[in-house]
Amino acid sequence: MSAIDYQAIFNEIINDLDEIDEVGEVATYIPELANVDPNKLGMHLTTVTNQHFAYGDADEAFSIQSIAKVWSLTLALKHLGADTWQRVGVEPSGTAFNSLVQLEYEMGIPRNPFINAGAIVVCDILVSCLKNPKEDLLDFIRTSSGIPSIEYCPVIAESEVKTGHRNYALAHMMKGFGNIHNDVDCVLDLYFSLCSIKLTCKQLAQAFLFLGAGGVNPATQQQVITPKRTKRINSIMQMCGFYDEAGEFAFKVGLPGKSGVGGGIVAVHPGKYCIAVFSPRLNASGNSVKAMKVLEALTSKTELSIF
| 3-class DSSP state of 53 | strand
Judge whether 66 is annotated as a binding position.
yes
d(Cα 155, Cα 160) in Å, to the nearest integer?
A: 9
- The burial class, CB within 10 Å (0-12 / 13-18 / 19+), for 276 is buried
For CA atoms 93, 94, 99, 103, give the dihedral sign: negative
Radius of gyration of the chain (CA): 18
The reply to whether 167 sits in an annotated binding site is yes
Question: Cα(288)–Cα(143) distance, rounded to whole angstroms?
Answer: 28
Q: What is the DSSP letter of 209?
A: G
Whether residue 191 is annotated as binding a ligand: the answer is yes
Residues in a beta bridge with 223: 216
Q: Cβ of 99: how many Cβ atoms within 10 Å?
A: 21
Please name every residue paired with 198 in a beta bridge, in sequence order, or none if there are none: 63
SS3 of residue 109 by DSSP: coil
Which run of H or of E encompasses 224?
Answer: none
Is 116 annotated to bind ligand? yes
Enumerate the known binding-site residues: 66, 116, 160, 167, 191, 243, 261
Enumerate the known binding-site residues for substrate: 66, 116, 160, 167, 191, 243, 261
